[in-house]
Structure 1
Amino acid sequence: MAFESLSDKLQNIFKNLRSKGRLTEADVKASLKEVKMALLEADVSFKVVKQFMKAVQERAVGQDVLNGLNPGQMVIKIVNEEMVNLMGAETTEIALQPAGEITVLMMMGLQGAGKTTTTAKIAGKLKSKGRKPLLVACDIYRPAAIQQLQINGDKQGVEVFSMGDKNKPVNIAKAAIEHASKNGHNVVILDTAGRLHVDEDMMNELIEIKENVTVNQSLLVVDAMTGQDAVNVASMFDEKIGIDGVILTKLDGDTRGGAALSIRAVTGKPILYIGMGEKLSDLEQFYPDRMASRILGMGDVLTLIEKVQNDIDEDKAREMERKLRKAEFGFDDYLEQMQQIKKMGGLSDLLGMIPGMGAQMKNIDEVVDDKAMSRVEAMILSMTPQERSNPSVLNPSRKKRIADGAGVNISEVNRLVKQFEQGKKMMKQLPGMMGGKMGGKRGKFRLPF
């Protein structure tokens, strides 16, 4: 999970701060020194860390903080606010022309950063906002780049403009804009070529496109897992081409997170979106305040609510609520709820957005093991329709067949059935549980589990 190591270290530092009723200036400075080391180990730029720590220390050693009712909490609040300032303070959207005009977006980045996939993700986001985007295949060098864009465009329901790999990218861009004008497209997204490293040919090609086509926004896609290199790449692109915004990919991986904390401060350019997975839906708007909350282990309830509201079908949620109240749900319903969770990024991601859960995650690994969820899914899919709707028919021979079909031990099938029956019993004992704040007409926010 992104920022896991940094988040753990910061939470331990703050836990020690909270445990002290009164703080001395020496306590604050010692804690901030640990914060500084944690940021450097997360690959945050040294200059950025230096500026950040100066701003925090100037505020944190003031008399109002040291003599306050809860000085530890005040220090955490200051770190949070300065972290938000570091990442941009305000959320920035892609700047689009009025709907009647064409907005041209030029996507840039090195090979391997996920640029082509991100280009299709952006198209899907804009389509969902009522725009009519056109994807343009300007990468004529990488094998299968055009095909990859076409496949992703089809999945998003967005047209892809291509002239093969024998035409110059600048000519493809010109022809695409003409095509967009004739066919009612109001956003043209140019998927340009990447290289293994920044080189003169790449830069000249991008400069030529910008000189011959009115590019409204130049967007750079960078791989968060490359840490400080991502910041260096962003600086070079901005210096030579000019960038209007950054999209960080692979933030779901084992990344130290330094790029997210450094790019805005080093380049002055905003982070627009963050890629949280391979699926075309795995692209989130970047909110500096929410990211700071995640890093500091304070959760991200707003994003969690948005995920639920966007991904959960209200009618299905009401029907599930009815079945849960009456304990009528079967394994098919159980499977559907798991698939909804996977659609939203997995149970561990969702729990990580709940305040206070970050620090507890390590103690409940077996509960939020997404691989275990996949095994459960395999077991349910190995059942017959009758077995899914009426688990009481599951005798030992049926359970063995299910275990063999799912490639698991029969003890896992027994455990699944037992947990399922216990869940039904619990719901019978708590008939009003789903009718309170989480359901009914009084609130639309429902978790799918």
Structure 2
Amino acid sequence: MFDTLSDRLSGIFTKLRGKGRLTDADIDATAREIRMALLEADVALPVVKSFVAALKERARGAEVSQALNPAQQIIKIVHEELIGILGGESRRLQFAKQPPTVIMLAGLQGSGKTTLAGKLARWLKAQGHQPLLVACDLQRPNAVNQLQVLGKRVDVEVFAPQPGNGVGDPVSVARESIEHAKRTMRDIVIVDTAGRLGIDTEMMAQAAAIRDAVNPDEVIFVIDAMVGQDAVATAEAFRDGVGISGVVLSKLDGDARGGAALSVRHVTGQPILFASTGEKMEDFDVFHPDRMASRILGMGDVLTLIEQAEAAFDDQQKEKMTSKLLGGEQFTLEDFLEQLTAIRRMGPIANMLSMMPGMGQMKDQLAELDDKHFDRVAAIIRSMTPAERANSKLINGSRRLRIANGAGVTVMDVNQLLNRFVDAQKMMKQMGGAMGLPGGRRKATKSPKNKRKGTKGGNYSGGGRGGLPGMPAGMPQLPPGLDPAALQQLEGGFKPPKLDFSKIMKRDK
């Protein structure tokens, strides 16, 4: 969503690099360009004015004038101010001292409230809670049925005594749901309310009546992140008419300019609690202002990547991979298949790679990634016998033909996978050395044909054949097995060499 804004800011910062000292004219020009970039991204004018004023004041202060690298200091200021606009720190849900905790969802029709209710219920259940979904949207056709379908999908009970479709009293349904939750030992009640295509008196009155009936601990305003300047007026209307305690941004995976996300926190004065980033039930997470600011500035989001890896890889799988690294055991195709399956559970590979620092400059390559390619790789491995997966050296010419026929691919595809897998095995060994594990780092070797073989600590890019099996040639490679502990160690202690990806892409072509 923030691609356009990220590109504009990146271009602005590029002009500052190399300058040993910033003049007042440089600061004014930079502030003017950032102002235009924010306005083009549909950020509300009051937010833009506040941001630019703070930027100018800090840029003319001692932290920049006395800095060794003023350009980097400006980037640091922009990053910190973005975090401030987005809320500073993430806030957790406020739970009632005496269950059940009541969470009321409010927003316009089409903002994604009902889908968000299902996602929130799934997330809370994963946290160890017993949520109850309440169907109080009795106006929109099939809204009750939609919530029931979502409840079944996430295995959460739905309280829906009224059929909806214009029939029933939503206030009485909301009131009865609290008693039902107490009887069935549900500790959280999520109330899905009706919306309208626009702000009107009837909708606000109904939402206020439901609020008074259930006395919610949280009133969450759900806003479509693809909405532009209208988001400001809508947020103000719900703040004044219903009273909100938090915000959820839906449809963050859209291609709109994203100004709503940068405006709603400043306008409402309430924190952004969650973000919905896709259509699947698992595309939902806590909103972290600092991580979102880093993404906007192209700095990546390694912490979220680690959290997703922790959720995708079970404890047994992590222990198995760790023991292999510690014991210096050979990484097999069976191991790789398990890791690939877990990585696929983390979502689209392009989204995952975009969280890695420096990937903003490779947006075109990321857009061309096809997840079906990874499914074909899995099919090839599944066509092998257990013995072949354990020892890839057994796979001779006739076996390769059999595997190709079984997976519905060509022998060349099988050859490419096996060739890249050899590089993956080497990289796993080098990763163990980089983290101080048995096996150590390989001695640097000199080779006129491939200078990268002389890189100390191993070649993070995965070698000349394209790195990990399944990754397109020329792309930066992920370690086979995103063990969260290994990622954290890599982030702190393993510095991959700087590579010119444009040259790699040209060579592989």
Is the aligned partner of 1:338 residue 2:340? yes
SS in 2 for 1:326: coil
Aligned position for 1:95: 94
Q: Deviations over 1:390-445 (max 9, x none)?
A: 651643354145236xxxx6654443343234423554677645764999xxx961
1:196–1:383 Cα change, 3 Å: farther
Alpha-carbon distance in structure 2 between the residues aligned to 1:354 and 1:104: 37
Distance 2:202 2:122 in 1: 30
Partner of 1:194: 195
Give me the whole-angstrom Cα distance separating, in 2, the residues matched to 1:61 and 1:315.
54
Worse-matched range after superposition: 417-426 or 277-286: 417-426
> Displacement of 1:191 after TM fit?
1.0
SS at match of 1:248: strand
**Residues 111 and 342 of structure 1: is their aligned pair in 2 closer, same or farther, counting only changes over 3 Å?**
farther
Name stretches of at least 5 consecutive residues in structure 2 with no aligned partner: 439-477, 491-509
- Rounded to whole Å, the distance in 2 between the matches of 1:222 and 1:431 is 46
Q: One-letter code of the match for 2:408?
A: A
Name the CA shift for 1:255/1:375 in 2 (closer, same or farther; >3 Å). farther
Measure, in 1, the Cα distance between the counterparts of 2:318 and 2:110: 39
Alpha-carbon separation, structure 1, partners of 2:431 and 2:243: 59
Partner Cα separation in structure 1 for residue 386 and residue 105 of structure 2: 47
How big is each residue's C-alpha offset from its partner over 1:236-272, in whole Å with a ceiling of 9 and x where there is no partner? 2222222211100111222322111100111212111
Q: In 1, Cα distance between the equivalents of 2:68 and 2:103?
A: 51
- Give secondary structure in 2 for the equivalent of 1:446: helix
User: Helix, strand or coil for the counterpart of 1:104?
Assistant: strand
Using a 3 Å threshold, how does the CA distance of structure 1 residues 24 and 431 change in structure 2: closer, same or farther?
closer
Change (3 A) 1:369 1:187: same
The aligned residue for residue 27 of structure 2 is 28
Q: CA deviation at 1:94?
A: 2.1
Of 221-230 and 340-349, more deviation after overlay is shown by 340-349
The residue aligned with 1:396 is 401
Q: Give the Cα separation in 1 of the matches to 2:115 and 2:240.
A: 25
In 2, distance between residues paired with 1:388 and 1:30?
60
Aligned to 2:14: 15
Counterpart of 1:43?
A: 42
Aligned to 2:485: 445
2:145 alignment partner AA: Q
SS in 2 for 1:445: helix
2:356 pairs with one of 354, 357, 377: 354
| Secondary structure at 1:105 match in 2 | strand
Query: Of 329, 333, 351, which aligns to 2:332?
Result: 329
8 Å CA contact 1:24–1:66 kept in 2: the answer is no
- Could you say which residue in structure 2 is the equivalent of 1:155? 153
TM-score norm. by structure 2 comes to 0.77
> Aligned-pair distance for 1:163?
0.8
Residue 32 of structure 1 and its aligned partner are, at CA, apart by: 1.8
Q: Secondary structure at the match of 2:248?
A: strand
Shift of 1:368: 5.6
User: Does structure 2 conserve the Cα–Cα contact (< 8 Å) formed by 1:402 and 1:413?
Assistant: no
Counterpart code for 2:117: T
Q: Which has the higher contact order (CA 8 A, sep 6+)?
A: 1
Shift in alpha-carbon separation, 1:269–1:426, aligned structure 2, 3 A: closer
Which piece of structure 1 moves more, 36-45 or 342-351?
342-351
Shift in Å, 1:55 = 1.3
Give 1:177 shift. 0.9
TM-score (norm 1): 0.86
In the alignment, which residue of structure 1 is the partner of 2:84?
85
Give CA-to-partner distance per residue, 1:279-306, whole Å, 9 cap, x none.
2222221121221122112222332333
Give, as a single letter, the amino acid of the residue that structure 1 aligns with 2:350: S
Distance (whole Å) between structure 1 residues aligned to residue 112 and residue 87 of structure 2: 23
Q: Which amino acid aligns with 1:402?
A: A
Output one character per residue of 1:114-171: Cα deviation in whole Å (capped at 9) or x when no partner. Answer: 2112112222333333432211111223343223322322333322111132421111
CA distance in 2 between counterparts of 1:368 and 1:327 reads 29
Mapping of residues 11-410 of structure 1, within 5 Å: 11-62=10-61, 64-98=63-97, 100-165=98-163, 166-322=167-323, 325-330=328-333, 332-355=334-357, 357-362=358-363, 364-365=365-366, 369-377=370-378, 379-380=380-381, 392=395, 394-396=399-401, 398-403=403-408
Residues 297-339 of structure 1, C-alpha deviation per residue, up to 9 Å, x if partnerless?
Answer: 2222332333333332232123234557433422x43333223
Over 3 Å counting, the alpha-carbon distance change for 1:77 and 1:433 in structure 2 is: closer
Q: Which amino acid aligns with 1:210?
A: R
Q: Is the 8 A contact 1:323 1:329 kept in 2?
A: no
| Percent of residue pairs identical | 47
- What amino acid sits opposite 1:263 in the alignment? V
Q: What's the RMSD between the two structures over aligned residues? A: 3.1
For 1:291 and 1:427, the matched residues in 2 are separated by 31
Distance change >3 Å, CA 184–CA 222, structure 1 → 2: same
For structure 1, the residue ranges without an aligned partner over 5 or more in a row are: none
Q: Deviations over 1:17-45 (max 9, x none)?
A: 12212211111221222211111111111
The answer to whether the Cα contact below 8 Å between 2:400 and 2:414 also exists between their aligned partners in 1 is no
Q: For 1:41 and 1:17, how far apart are their aligned partners in 2?
A: 21
SS in structure 1 at match of 2:255:
coil
Q: How far does residue 235 in structure 1 lie from its aligned partner after superposition?
A: 1.9
Q: Is contact 1:320–1:329 with CA below 8 Å preserved after alignment?
A: no
Post-superposition CA distance 1:348-396 (Å, at most 9, x none): 33333333x2334337538965453344345556667676566516433
Structure with greater helix percent: 1
Q: Indicate conservation of the 8 Å contact 1:321/1:434, yes or no.
A: no
In the alignment, the residues of structure 2 paired with residue 216 and residue 174 of structure 1 have an alpha-carbon distance, to the nearest angstrom, of 14
Q: What amino acid is aligned across from residue 139 of structure 2 in structure 1?
A: Y
Q: Is the 8 A contact 2:306 2:484 kept in 1?
A: no
Deviation sequence 1:95-116 (CA, Å, 0-9, x none) = 2211x33222111222332211
One-letter code of the match for 2:242? Answer: I
1:71 Cα deviation (Å)?
0.9
Instruction: Tell me the distance in 1 between the aligned counterparts of 2:59 and 2:279.
Output: 40
The 1-side partners of 2:30 and 2:317 are apart by 49
User: Kindly tell me: are residues 366 and 103 of structure 1, through their superposed partners in 2, closer, same or farther at Cα, counting changes over 3 Å?
Assistant: closer
